[in-house]
């Protein structure tokens, strides 16, 4: 199995942990999405709905959400939360003549062929409909970031040869900006959308050592690390966070790009 497919399909291996440990999204982002929908179209297709983290926020804002999710294990949790979910890759999904007010992708569009995804969005959105793709990037305290980076740099190359060492710590908004630019370029290439709007919303969340170690085990590629390496990494990160008092505040920058259907 190609590595990218192995990683993308790995999140459902522990879907309950994913739902419990992954962060949500800031209220300002959800408000921007709801304001940007056509007045008569309050329906949203959430691409890669996963366990329904972003979808729940959209539903709480009064929107009707349909999930499209390639992993049946993740889709099961979203259905249990009350969302209709159609199991498919968005590139292969059939909107069956339906038109929606928005298509969103939270932490998922990098697994999608950006041009094929934009073409599918154009076919499923009503005039004025919104295509919005976004990611949470990390802005941890410098001391915590350096300590976590040192753990990965010390352990990961040894237990998973060929893996990036992550010596620079957690990926910040600059890294995710490349994903936004790639998505925006593909949207423009369809000729079906207006000019892109680039979004950034800063917010934060407090973590204890145990909560952050829970989140670490949901990161992409975690399942590829041998069990002994996983234990070493968790022990090292746990010691690092305990060393700064057993808790910290993670800064997040939610970055994304949005376009309106012409």
Contact 105, 46 (CB under 8 A): yes
Beta bridge pairs of residue 66: 45
Over residues 215-232, the mean pLDDT reads 94
Mean pLDDT for the stretch of residues 209-234: 96
* pLDDT value of residue 252: 98
Nearest to 186 by CA among 196, 176, 172: 196
Please say if the pLDDT value at position 162 is more than 90.
Answer: no
pLDDT of residue 2: 45
Write out the two tokens for 162: 């060929």
Averaged pLDDT of the chain = 94
Residues of the chain with pLDDT > 70, as a percent, come to 95
Residue 6's pLDDT band, with cuts at 50, 70 and 90, is low
Are the beta carbons of 252 and 202 closer than 8 angstroms?
yes
Architecture of domain 3-140+171-204+253-260: 3-Layer(aba) Sandwich (3.40)
pLDDT tens digits along 61-120: 999 999 999 999 999 999 999 999 999 999 999 999 999 999 999 999 999 999 999 999
Integer Cα distance of 148 and 153 in angstroms: 9
Confidence (pLDDT) at 243: 95
Domains in the chain: boundaries: 3-140+171-204+253-260
169: region left, alpha or beta (phi > 0 left; psi from -120 to 50 alpha): left
> With the C-alpha atoms ordered 143, 144, 148, 149, is the resulting torsion angle positive or negative?
negative
Torsion sign, CA atoms 161, 167, 169, 173: negative
pLDDT in tens, 164-195: 656 568 999 998 999 999 999 999 999 999 99
Lowest mean pLDDT among 94-108, 147-161, 177-191, 248-262: 147-161
């Amino acid at each position: 199995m190609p590595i990218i497919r192995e990683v993308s399909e790995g999140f459902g291996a522990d879907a309950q942990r994913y739902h419990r440990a992954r962060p949500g999204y800031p209220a300002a982002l959800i408000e921007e999405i709801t304001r940007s929908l056509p007045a008569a179209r309050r329906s949203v297709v959430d691409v890669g709905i996963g366990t329904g983290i972003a979808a729940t926020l959209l539903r709480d804002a009064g929107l009707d959400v349909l999930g499209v999710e390639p992993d049946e294990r993740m889709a099961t949790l979203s259905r249990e939360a009350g969302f209709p979910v159609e199991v498919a890759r968005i590139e292969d999904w059939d909107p069956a003549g339906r038109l929606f007010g928005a298509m969103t992708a939270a932490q998922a569009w990098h697994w999608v062929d950006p041009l094929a995804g934009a073409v599918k969005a154009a076919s499923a959105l009503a005039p004025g409909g919104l295509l919005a793709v976004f990611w949470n990037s990390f802005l941890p305290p410098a001391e915590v970031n350096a300590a976590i980076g040192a753990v990965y740099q010390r352990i990961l190359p040894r237990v998973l040869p060929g893996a990036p060492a992550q010596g620079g710590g957690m990926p910040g908004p600059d890294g995710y900006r490349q994903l936004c630019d790639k998505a925006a370029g593909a949207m423009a290439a369809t000729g079906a959308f207006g000019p892109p709007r680039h979004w950034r919303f800063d917010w934060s969340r407090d973590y204890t050592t145990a909560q952050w170690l829970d989140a670490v085990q949901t990161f992409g590629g975690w399942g590829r690390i041998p069990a002994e390496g996983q234990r070493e990494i968790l022990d090292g990160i746990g010691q690092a966070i305990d060393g700064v008092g057993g808790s910290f505040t993670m800064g997040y920058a939610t970055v994304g790009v949005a376009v309106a259907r012409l």
